[in-house]
Amino acid sequence: MQKKKFLVLFTLFIVPLLFYIFLSKGIYHYANLPILTDNVENIKGEETFKDHFSIVAFLGGDLNESKTALFNLNEVIYKSYYKSLYFQTVIILPKGKENEVVELKKRLGTYTDASKWKFVFASKEEIVSIFNSFDTPFTLNDNFASNYTFIVDRKLRLRGRKDDEDMKDGILYGYDMNSVADLRNKMKDDIGIIYYQLKKSLQKEQRRKRKV
């Protein structure tokens, strides 16, 4: 009798409480990926940040130096999301690296569709201008490269975290490409949040159209 009574109380009170805790720490807690910077400068030419979810990296003039970072990004992030709606990976490089990138794209495409890899060649002044528009505490090195990769949304806004436990002020502007753990445990999750938001937005739009 007591066991049955316990089960009833557990079902009525404990289960709803656990469900609430799960939601508060799960979907609802991560239902929004903060906007850190508005009006990121768009890239010029055929490619664009607008209307895409862009993973942006500045690899600079020494591709050998950036090779490990690039392949970490490919394995952990690109292969997980390249089939997703609006997704692209944009690599910004100094002009003059076009021939090196031809071979690089072949290597990236050996086992995966590399069509969502976009390589943009810009003057050094343009690279600095785009990078500075992200308004982060980071700087480019002497080769106009950065170890960090960034998330730019469809409205040209930099997305990231405001409550990251590893950051002194809680703000996570970019993700260290040399750290597989950083890419897997932070960036991958954060891109997932963006696609959760997109899914909910598309569902809401479909409901609205059905009512019209």
The tens digit of pLDDT for each residue in 17-41 reads 444 443 344 443 446 899 999 999 9
CA max distance for the chain: 81
Give the residues across from 117 on adjacent strands.
Answer: 89
Distance CA 62, CA 64 (A): 5
Quick count: other Cβ atoms within 10 Å of Cβ 184? 16
Residues 51-66 have a mean pLDDT of: 94
In this prediction, residue 28 carries a pLDDT of 37
In this prediction, residue 14 carries a pLDDT of 55
**Please, is 1 exposed, middle or buried when counting C-beta atoms within 10 Å of its C-beta (0-12, 13-18, 19+)?**
exposed
Distance CA 51, CA 73 (A): 21
pTM: 0.83
Distance CA 137, CA 9 (A): 53
Provide the CATH number for the domain formed by 35-191 in this structure.
3.40.30.10
- Between the two ends of the chain, the Cα-to-Cα distance in Å is 55
In this prediction, residue 168 carries a pLDDT of 87
Give the residues across from 79 on adjacent strands.
Answer: none
Distance CA 158, CA 123 (A): 22
Q: Is the pLDDT of residue 175 over 60?
A: yes
More confidently predicted of 40 and 168: 40
In this prediction, residue 27 carries a pLDDT of 42
Q: What is the pLDDT of residues 60-114, one digit of tens each?
A: 999 889 989 999 999 999 999 999 999 999 999 999 999 999 988 888 888 889 9
**CA torsion, points 123, 62, 139, 137, in degrees to nearest 10?**
110
Domain boundaries, the chain: 35-191
Q: Is the pLDDT of residue 4 over 70?
A: no
Q: What is the pLDDT of residues 134-163, one digit of tens each?
A: 999 999 999 999 999 999 999 999 999 999
Q: Is the pLDDT of residue 203 over 50?
A: yes
In this prediction, residue 202 carries a pLDDT of 86
